Structure 1
C-alpha cells in the first residue's frame, strides 16, 4: 500500500481548522500532519513536517495565503498548495494561481472534492472548483479590445490589462498561446486536443515547448502565467 498523503491544514479560524482536520482524517489515504492559523506559522510547520500538500486559506493575519503560497513555491517547490477559501473573485483566483497554487476550491466543497484536489496537486495536476473554472472560461471568451491610441504597442496590453494576441510574449507561437489559455481554463490535454482538432500527442508537444519558454514547472504555474499575460 502506498504511503498516505501528508496534509497541512492552514486556516485562521480554529473551528474551521478542527473541522477540516476531522474531515480529512476520515478520508482513506490522507493523514493530517499539522495545522496552522496563519501563513507564517504554516511556513515554520512546512519546514519541520514536510507535508505533501498544504490546504491553504487566503484571508489570514500575519501572512496571508497568497504570500504564504508564494513562499512555499520558492522555498519548498516539492510541496503543493491547494487553496480552500470563501472567495472566488478574479483577483483572489489570479493572485493564488500566480503565487503557484495548484488547486483552488471554495468552502462549500465536499470531502470527496477536497481529497481529489489534494491528490491531483500532489501528482502535479490542477483541479478547480466549478465556479472557478467558470470564471476562467469566461475570461477566455472575453473579446480583447484594441490598444487605445497613444498606447505603446511594445507593452502589448489593453486598457483592461489583457495581452493583445498580436504581441505574444516569450516567443510563444499562436498555437502555444491557445494551449496555455485553455490550461488556464482548467481543461485537460484530451479536451484541448478536441477543442483544437489535433492529436493529444501534438498538444503535449505544444505544452512542453510552451513550458520551456515560460519557465513553468506545472499546469498551475502555466495557468497563472496565462492569466497574468492576458492569454486566458
Structure 2
C-alpha cells in the first residue's frame, strides 16, 4: 500500500520524548512503503512542519507542553484535511483521546502495539479508514455515556458498527446489499443525530452513548 503514484506513505512522528520518536522510527524503518519524513518534539512544531513536509499520516502523542495532541490535531486537520492524524497513546483510558478524535483524528493506537499493528494502522489511516478498537473505545468512553439511546435507527447503528471495523462505504454496501450512495445517506443522518461531521467521530459518539452494543 502506497500513498498514491507508487510513492511511500509519508509519515511525521510527534512526541516530546526523543527516545519514543526514535523507537517508532526504528519500527517503521524496514517498511518499504512507509517513509518517516520528519519528527517533531511538540505540537506547535508539528503544525509548522506539516505544510513543509506534506505528510500523509501524522503519528501524534497526546500529552505535550505548549500545544497538546488534541489542539495540534485540530490545527493540522483544519489547514490540510487530507492529512490523517493517528493518535499514539500509552493509556487505554486517556480521556484526552476523545478530544483529539473530536478534533479530527482518524483514530488511535497504543504505544505498546506491535510493529505489524502500527504499520497496519498507518496503512488504514492513509486510506482514510477509521483506526479504532471498539473494545478499547468502549472502556474509554463508557464514563461519558449520554442519554437518547434510541437516537439512531437499527440500520444506522449497523452501518456504524461496520465503520468501526474499518470497512469503506463500498464494502459496507456490499456487506448489507445496499448501494454505496445509500450507505452515505445513512451516515449523513447519523452525523446529524450525533452532532458530528465525520466517520470516526460518529463511531466514537455512538460508542460513548452505548448505541453500538
Q: Distance in 1 between matches of 2:121 and 2:148?
A: 32
Contact 1:164 1:230 survives alignment (8 Å): no
2: distance between equivalents of 1:139 and 1:65? Answer: 17
Task: Describe the SS at the equivalent of 2:38.
Answer: strand
Instruction: Select the structure of larger CA radius of gyration.
Output: 1
* Secondary structure class of the residue paired with 2:73: helix
The corresponding residue for 1:2 is 6
CA separation of 1:189 and 1:20: change in aligned 2, threshold 3 A = closer
Distance 1:39 1:9 in 2: 11
Summarize deviations over 1:87-134 as a string: whole Å, max 9, x none.
111623322321222131111111111111111111111223xxx421
| Distance across 2 between alignment mates of 1:221 and 1:42 | 22
Length, aligned pairs only: 202
Q: 1:210 aligns with which of 178, 186, 201?
A: 186
1:22 is matched with which residue?
A: 26
Aligned-residue Cα RMSD (Å) equals 3.2
Partner of 1:37: 41
Matched residue, 1:162: 146
Alpha-carbon distance between aligned partners in 2 of 1:208 and 1:133, rounded to the nearest angstrom: 21
Q: Per-residue deviation at 1:199?
A: 4.8
**TM-score, normalization: structure 2?**
0.79
TM-score by length of 1: 0.73
Partner of 1:58: 62
Pairwise CA distance, 1:164: 1.3
Contact 2:106 2:200 in 1 (8 A): yes
In the other structure, the counterpart of 1:135 is: 136
Taking a change above 3 Å as real, the CA distance of residues 180 and 64 of structure 1, as seen in their structure-2 partners, is farther
1:225 to 1:137, Cα distance in 2 relative to 1, 3 A: closer
Note closer, same or farther for the CA distance 1:78–1:12 as it changes in structure 2 (3 Å cut): same
Q: 1:178 aligns with which of 113, 133, 157?
A: 157
Distance 1:22 1:135 in 2: 26
Question: Is it true that 1:200 corresponds to 2:152 in the alignment?
Answer: no
* Separation of aligned partners in 1, 2:91 and 2:156: 28
